[in-house]
């Protein structure tokens, strides 16, 4: 009782603190929700009254588009939320996930004075003591920070990533509000299917990791160790002595970003070879190291000399353990080999399935999915379209995949899109088909089998140590009469409610009849002259309760259960 009261008291600040920000957020959400209501009005002039800041009428937009516009207007934290949710098409649906991919991350940069003050505050010395040159104009400005070009005293050209002023405070406020909004959304049937509380918790973890620049520096160092001997990838070298959790100084990479279409076309590099090398690089990250760059959009990929690829921005990285890596390999191999039975087994084993799911219907849908892509040649197979259809299928059956798995599959979709920017004929499936031999070879390699056997032996050893002691405790409880079995009755509340209401109604009716027959407190006006006043009230109330009970039973068989 006390713990429940304390929990409710702790939730009060989430709703009532930061009132101005709450008002701003709710007004924007109401604004975009109002456009949906206007779209059902037949008067053409009313539909054009509310417009987006670009001047387009909101009522003409789809729900997914209005969600994206609202997130853009709400600011950096909500833009990041949309970007994270774009990696969860199994939760929000493929259409909304695809729309959220369009979220713009460009935000106005901080003034040069604020940037200089923050860098000096973090490094503990004047800017001129560290940098011979420091460009006041940033080369890029995103939701978390902005990047400046600079030169150290030794002449080395570097990139300085500086966190926006007060970002941590603003993010903390917005995360607090998001948690409150998620709790409210859980109570709305139309929004509960998006699992708002779980999605916000996942977003909080991801955003807090991205706010820590020291973590990003460690990621870069780990990637450099993994690919120290490769000439096909360039990872910037961080400079720890000038880096903190809000300032990151790293080597400057010179190259052509994939977002510059014209520059790519004129660079004179074999783009098809670069696309294939990039795909093999990512597959090596995922299936060999279990540690991969999770944001391969065109702005974070550079074309460099000798067909090398430069990777930027290590705020978002993915990690997968060996067991999940094996499941992902099986998932992709089942799609490549068009094996619907194997694919269904992997989905059921990895995903969180709802109780009472129709496995036969899922099997038929998977068979149709596999049959649709069975005869498509590898060079024309679009993995992105196949994965989007797979996500839509799983969402129809209310199957939720692990966050690590959906992020990885989303990275593969982005990777195929980046490859097609280089060469329109690029097919990630074509790279995956020969790669499956490497997957199978690693699966049966002696070192991997030894690690698996060692893990199983360790778990069996732990079970052997714990099992006798647990059995002894249970037998002692049985012998002393302290062994209790706790049963969780699910679904009995409506039946109990009906039974209690029926007993109360019958008791009220019988008591009211006795009052009427004994003329208790009779009325003195026509046409109820001589009838008991409390008796008539009781009979009327019992009749109303009885009708309500009959209506509830006739309608759904349940009483007071939310549908």
* Cis previous bond, 25, omega within 30: no
Query: 119 Cβ partners below 8 Å, 6+ apart?
Result: 127, 160, 162, 247
Instruction: Identify the DSSP state of 59.
Output: G
Strand pairing category for 309-311 and 233-234: parallel
- The first and second tokens of residue 467, run together, are 């099992």
* 3-state SS, residue 484: coil
Cα 291 from Cα 221, distance rounded (Å)? 12
SS (H, E, C) 45-68: HHHCCCECCCCCEHHHCCHHHHHH
Cα 390 from Cα 383, distance rounded (Å)? 10
Main-chain phi, psi angles of 356, to 5 degrees: 75, 25
Query: 171 Cβ partners below 8 Å, 6+ apart?
Result: 76, 77, 207, 211
> Is 3 exposed, middle or buried, given 0-12, 13-18 or 19+ CB atoms closer than 10 A?
exposed
Cα 174 from Cα 170, distance rounded (Å)? 6
Q: Which residues are catalytic?
A: 295
**Contact assessment for residue 319 and residue 290, using Cβ atoms and an 8 Å cutoff:** yes
* 3-state SS, residue 145: strand
- Residues linked to residue 256 through DSSP beta bridges, in sequence order: 303
Which residue shows structure tokens 């096909």?
Answer: 232
Cα 227 from Cα 234, distance rounded (Å)? 9
For the chain, the helix, strand and coil percentages under 3-state DSSP, each to the nearest 5: 65, 10, 30
Cα 214 from Cα 163, distance rounded (Å)? 12
SS (H, E, C) 274-321: HHHHHHHHHHHHHHHHCEEECCCCHHHEEECHHHCEEECCCCCEEECC
Nearest to 23 by CA among 74, 65, 71: 74
Half-sphere exposure of 57 (CA within 13 A, CB side): 12
Q: What is the largest CA-CA distance in the chain?
A: 108
């Amino acid at each position: 009782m006390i713990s429940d009261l304390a929990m409710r008291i702790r939730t009060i600040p989430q709703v009532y603190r930061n009132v101005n920000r709450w008002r701003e957020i709710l007004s924007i959400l109401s604004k975009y929700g109002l456009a949906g209501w206007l779209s059902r009005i037949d008067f053409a002039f009313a539909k054009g009254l509310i417009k987006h800041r670009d001047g387009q009428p909101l009522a003409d937009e789809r729900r997914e588009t209005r969600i994206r516009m609202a997130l853009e207007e709400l600011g950096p934290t909500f833009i990041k939320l949309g970007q994270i949710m774009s990696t969860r098409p199994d939760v929000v649906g493929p259409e909304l996930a695809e729309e959220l991919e369009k979220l713009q991350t460009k935000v106005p940069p901080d003034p040069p004075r604020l940037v200089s003050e923050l860098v000096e505050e973090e490094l503990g010395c004047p800017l001129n003591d560290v940098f011979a040159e420091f460009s006041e104009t940033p080369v890029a400005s995103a939701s978390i920070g902005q990047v400046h070009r600079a030169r150290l005293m030794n002449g080395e050209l570097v990139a300085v990533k500086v966190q926006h002023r007060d970002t941590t405070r603003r993010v903390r406020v917005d995360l607090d509000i998001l948690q409150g909004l998620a709790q409210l959304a859980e109570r709305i049937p139309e929004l509960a299917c998006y699992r708002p509380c779980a999605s916000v918790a996942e977003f909080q973890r991801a955003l807090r990791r991205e706010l820590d620049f020291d973590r990003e520096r460690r990621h870069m160092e780990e990637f450099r160790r993994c690919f120290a001997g490769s000439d096909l990838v360039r990872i910037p070298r961080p400079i720890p002595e000038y880096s903190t959790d809000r300032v990151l100084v790293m080597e400057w990479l010179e190259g052509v970003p994939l977002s510059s279409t014209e520059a790519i076309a004129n660079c004179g590099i074999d783009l098809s070879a670069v696309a294939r090398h990039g795909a093999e690089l990512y597959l090596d990250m995922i299936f060999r190291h279990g540690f991969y760059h999770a944001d391969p959009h065109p702005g974070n990929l550079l074309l460099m000399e000798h067909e090398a690829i430069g990777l930027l921005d290590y705020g978002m990285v993915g990690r997968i353990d060996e067991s999940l890596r094996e499941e992902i390999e099986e998932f992709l191999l089942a799609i490549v080999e068009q094996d619907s039975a194997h694919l269904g087994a992997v989905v059921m084993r990895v995903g969180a399935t709802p109780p009472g799911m129709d496995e036969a219907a899922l099997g038929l849908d998977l068979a149709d999915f596999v049959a649709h892509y069975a005869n498509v040649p590898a060079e024309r197979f679009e993995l992105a379209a196949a994965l989007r259809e797979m996500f839509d299928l799983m969402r129809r059956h209310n199957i939720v995949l692990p966050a690590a798995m959906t992020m990885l599959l989303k990275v593969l979709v982005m990777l195929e899109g980046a490859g097609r920017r280089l060469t329109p004929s690029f097919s990630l499936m074509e790279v995956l088909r020969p790669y499956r031999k490497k997957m199978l070879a690693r699966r049966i390699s002696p070192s991997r089998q030894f690690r698996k056997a060692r893990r199983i032996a360790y778990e069996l050893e732990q079970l052997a140590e714990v099992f006798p002691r647990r059995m002894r405790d249970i037998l002692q409880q049985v012998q002393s009469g302290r062994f209790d079995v706790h049963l969780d009755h699910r679904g009995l509340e409506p039946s109990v409610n009906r039974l209690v209401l029926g007993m109360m109604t019958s008791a009220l009716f019988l008591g009211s009849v006795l009052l009427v027959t004994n003329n208790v407190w009779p009325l003195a006006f026509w046409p109820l002259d001589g009838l008991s006043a409390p008796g008539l009230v009781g009979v009327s109330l019992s009749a109303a309760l009885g009708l309500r009970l009959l209506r509830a039973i006739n309608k759904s068989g349940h009483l007071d259960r939310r549908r």
